[in-house]
Structure 1
């Protein structure tokens, strides 16, 4: 069923989904933060999707937050720390039966948004698709993964696991009735890899290949295991460090998003990754000194 999707956050994942939703026959409108971005977009009036060396243009619409009109379907792909500020000027334009899907790194922003928007239905999504922006509104599809989707508030049993109107072509969607557990799994890997690559200014693979860096990652992961045991969360079949090592090796040549933010002197999502982990630990009465030290160091040396 075709729908009109508004996308809040025109970064790599936002543009990737804009292109694929448009390709699937949906109407798509990008919500852009200011008139300068809107002027840049209007030069082409389209999202460029580059895959396997080929480029395709997908004409979509764009609007500023103040004048988007009724929003019935909203995909949020902003940075976690931008979510609530970006949502504030458009929240009153959401229809009472709106469908909101959040696709972001870290945890915390999803729960805050679901609480803020209640009783509007909110789904969370976790993706392993690879994408990066070559230039504004020109996205390179770097690696096909899958996107897990599930309702964030389990108190609404009648909600479908995946919104029926979410049907992109060429992207793999997986229904996930335990989406919060999947978000926790991704959070654990992000906590093990992203802050350490920013700390050491290294590619992901070095965390697995360099003995001292691997030992540091092992200590970080041991604390994650301890917290999850306390919270009765079964994330992986074995210790978290095994999964973190596998991901670090599989993405060995990559620079983590947090390291890229640090290098470009941009604000990081540290508060929604390690910061969220530490908040959960504090509530559980547990100290995580390795993660705490890493968090405090990065807070001092980054934005």
Structure 2
């Protein structure tokens, strides 16, 4: 089954390699002609010290051909515009899978493209690019996928049941996305603003107190929305993730250090928008969000 992948970062390349390995033809939709010129049709997957190479097609958005199955792995702020760029190629009933941090596009895309099937996904796989089109699968996790436009259905998009990735059909994908959002809100902004590794959220008392305040506010919002995210609460879950990834730098910190736009609008920003709809104030999260804007780290 033919898949198009829009977003040739680490996760996009990981999925491209996995689909190729499972025997599916794949096209990478690349962002500009120079990026396409640099692609020789070969993708390398490195895992446990072993490398495998796969041949696949590359194309631009305006010449990628009819699309029946599309995986978007761009940054959250690029999703809608990127999808608009290939909209004329989407066949009616095309399957679209959104795999990115944060929330917002998951709600927008089904409204913008009601004729398509829209899935959302959240993943704990670890991957990074050694160089363009050479992806290192650094940590095996799981990916939960569910129909956002038809909640309650427990199924995967076509052709994904034979992948080496651990994929789970999730009939309650919105709840899973909220779990990921809560963890990201608790970890990413603080590490980005303090310039620290994940583990320092626990070992530095002042930062840990901020983390506790952030999580307490998330709990307030979850209670208002009648969301039960974690058995022992958001703080315990966030601390567990920070402990398990203690040596890591968050993606938001890496984006900030490299002068790239962050996804703060789709992480803390989405949380605050949800709170405002309920008339709820989250002062610590608001303060962190404003600190990003004042430093112009996400614009």
TM-score bracket, normalised by the shorter chain, equals: over 0.9
Cα distance in structure 2, aligned partners of 1:165 and 1:95: 17
Match of 2:44 in 1: 48
Runs of 4+ in 1 over 4 A off after TM superposition: none
Unaligned ranges ≥5, structure 2: none
Q: Cα distance 1:41–1:252, how it changes in 2: closer, same or farther (>3 A)?
A: same
| Correspondence for 1:300 among 279, 294, 297 | 294
Relative to the length of structure 1, the TM-score reads 0.96
Match of 2:198 in 1: 204
| Stretch moving more, 165-174 or 188-197 | 165-174
Q: SS where residue 90 of structure 1 aligns?
A: helix
| Correspondence for 1:94 among 65, 90, 96 | 90
Say whether 1:283 aligns with 2:277. Answer: yes
Cα distance in structure 1, aligned partners of 2:99 and 2:73: 5
| Correspondence for 2:114 among 115, 118, 121 | 118
Q: Map Cα deviations across residues 67-96 of structure 1 (whole Å, 9 max, x no partner).
A: 111000000100000011111120111110
Cα distance in structure 2, aligned partners of 1:46 and 1:168: 22
Say whether 1:5 aligns with 2:6. Answer: no
Q: Cα distance 1:218–1:230, how it changes in 2: closer, same or farther (>3 A)?
A: same
**Aligned-pair distance for 1:119?**
2.5
C-alpha RMSD of matched pairs (Å): 1.1
Match of 1:270 in 2: 264
| Correspondence for 1:30 among 24, 28, 48 | 28
- How do 1:228-239 and structure 2 match up within 5 A? 228-239=222-233
Match of 1:176 in 2: 170
Cα distance in structure 1, aligned partners of 2:160 and 2:76: 22
**Aligned-pair distance for 1:167?**
3.4
Preserved CA contact (<8 Å) 2:70 2:97: yes
Relative to the length of structure 2, the TM-score reads 0.97
**Aligned-pair distance for 1:160?**
5.1
**Aligned-pair distance for 1:250?**
0.2
